[in-house]
Amino acid sequence: MTPPDTRRQFLRASAAGLALPLAATAADPMPVGVVVWDERQPEQRQAYENFLGNHIADHLRRRPGLAVRSVGIEDAEKGLSEGILRGCDVLIWWGHRRQAEITPRMAEPLVARIKEGTLSLIALHSAHWATPFVEAMYERTRLDAARRLQRDGAKVEVAYAAPAVRYTLPKPGDRLTPYTELRKFLDGTERATVHLPYCCFPAYRTDGRPSQVRVLLPDHPIARGLPARFELPRTEMYAEPFHVPEPDEVVLEERWATGEWFRSGMVWTLGRGRVFYFRPGHETYPVFKEAPVLQLLENAVRWLAPAPG
C-alpha cells in the first residue's frame, strides 16, 4: 500500500497548491489521497463556473478525511506526472474530446498500480473511452480469458484483437465484446482469438431528457445514504448493450421514458484493485451538482481507497 511518507508528500503538495488543511495527527488515520483529472473542456462552463473537475474536487475537499487535488490535461505530463500522482489512492477521471492525447503507454503505470492494489479508478460518463479505463478493461479481459483458457493438457495459443478503430461505436446488431473465438487442430493445438471490448455502446442522445436512477444493491457501500430511486433532471442518454467485460457488481441502473436503459454504476476487480464506472453526466448538464450524485462519489472514493498498511 502507499507508504505513509508518500501520503504525507501528497498532502503537503495538495496543501501548497490548494490551501488544504493538514489536520491528521500521528493518532489519526491518514486521509485518502484523491486526484480529480479533468480534460477541462470550455463547454463545461455552461454548467460549471470553474470546470467540472474543480467542482467535484471542491465538494470532496469539504468532506472529512479526504485530501484532494484537481488537475487538468494541460498540467505536467498531461496531469499524470509522478509528482501529481504520488500518494494518490483514488483517481477520478473525466475525459471526452481529447482522449487520444493520453496514450496506452501513459496509462500503463496506472493499470499496474490498480493491479497491485495501490490505486483505484473512477471513470465518469464519457470516460468510458478514457485511455486508463479502456486499458483497464483490456487487462481485465486478458485476465478473464487466461482463466477460461487455462485447462490441463491444453496447448492454447492466444491472440488479442482490438477494435479496428479505437473510438468506434458498435452497431446495434454487433456481437457483444469482449468474446473469444476458439479453434482446435488435429495436433491437439488450440488457437484462441480474444476480441477486446469496444468500451462503448450502440446509441446515445444529447437532448438532456431526464433519467430515473434505481439502486440495485442498497447495502453496497457506494449506495450508502442514497434514495432507492432518484431522478436526474437533465442528462445525456447512453443505451445498452455496453461493450465491457462482465462487471463483478452492478450497483445502479438507469432508465429513460423513451425506453432506453443502462447499467449506470459498475465495479470490476483488477488484480488487487478496483475500477468503478459511473455513467450519468455530460459537460453541459449540471449532473454533478445533484446531491445523490455527490454523495455517491464520496461513498465510492471512501470504499475504493486501498486499505492502509
Measured at the CA of 280, the angle between CA 171 and CA 234, to 5 degrees, comes to 105
Q: What is the DSSP letter of 131?
A: H
Query: What pLDDT does 26 receive?
Result: 42
Q: By the 8 A CB rule, do 113 and 273 touch?
A: yes
Task: Taking residues 117-129, report their average pLDDT.
Answer: 98
261/24 Cα distance (integer angstroms)? 43
- Say what the alpha-carbon torsion angle 228, 211, 125, 91 is, to the nearest 10 degrees: -20
Class of 4-136+200-304 in CATH: alpha beta
Single out the residue of 34, 28, 27, 29 nearest to residue 13, CA to CA: 34
Q: What integer pLDDT is reported at residue 162 of this predicted model? A: 94
Specify the pairing of strand 249-255 against strand 66-72: unpaired
Residue 266 has pLDDT above 50, yes or no: yes
CB atoms inside a 10 Å sphere around CB 219: 7
Give SS3 for 233: coil
Q: Residue 114: its pLDDT value, please?
A: 97
Mean pLDDT, residues 43-58 taken together: 96
DSSP per-residue string spanning 46-101 = GT-TT-HHHHHHHHHHTSTTEEEEEEETTSHHHHT-HHHHTT-SEEEEE-STTGGG
Looking at the chain, the whole-number percentage of residues with pLDDT higher than 90 is 81
Give the lowest-confidence range in 58-62, 84-88, 201-205.
Answer: 84-88
| Nine-digit cell string for 49 | 463556473
**Residue ranges of domains in the chain:** 4-136+200-304, 148-195
pLDDT recorded at residue 15: 43
pLDDT at 20: 41
Mean of the pLDDT values across residues 237-245? 98
H/E run at residue 196: none
Confidence of residue 156 (pLDDT cuts 50, 70, 90): confident
Least confident of 102-106, 181-185, 257-261, 264-268: 181-185
Q: Tell me the mean pLDDT in the region 28-50.
A: 93
The whole-number pLDDT of residue 155 equals 73
Label residue 309 by pLDDT band (50, 70, 90).
Answer: low
Is residue 63 within 8 Å of residue 32, measured between CB atoms?
no
Question: pLDDT confidence of 152, banded at 50, 70, 90?
Answer: low
The pLDDT value recorded for residue 148 is: 87
R_g of the chain, CA atoms, integer Å:
20
**What is the residue-wise DSSP string for 273-290?**
EEEEEE----TTS-GGGS
Q: Which three cell numbers stand for residue 2?
A: 502507499
Instruction: Give the chain's length.
Output: 309
Looking at residue 307, its pLDDT comes to: 81
CB 300 within 8 A of CB 279: no
What is the average pLDDT across 207-215? 97
Helix/strand/coil for 227: coil
Mean pLDDT of the chain: 90
pLDDT of residue 25: 41
Does residue 14 carry a pLDDT above 90?
no
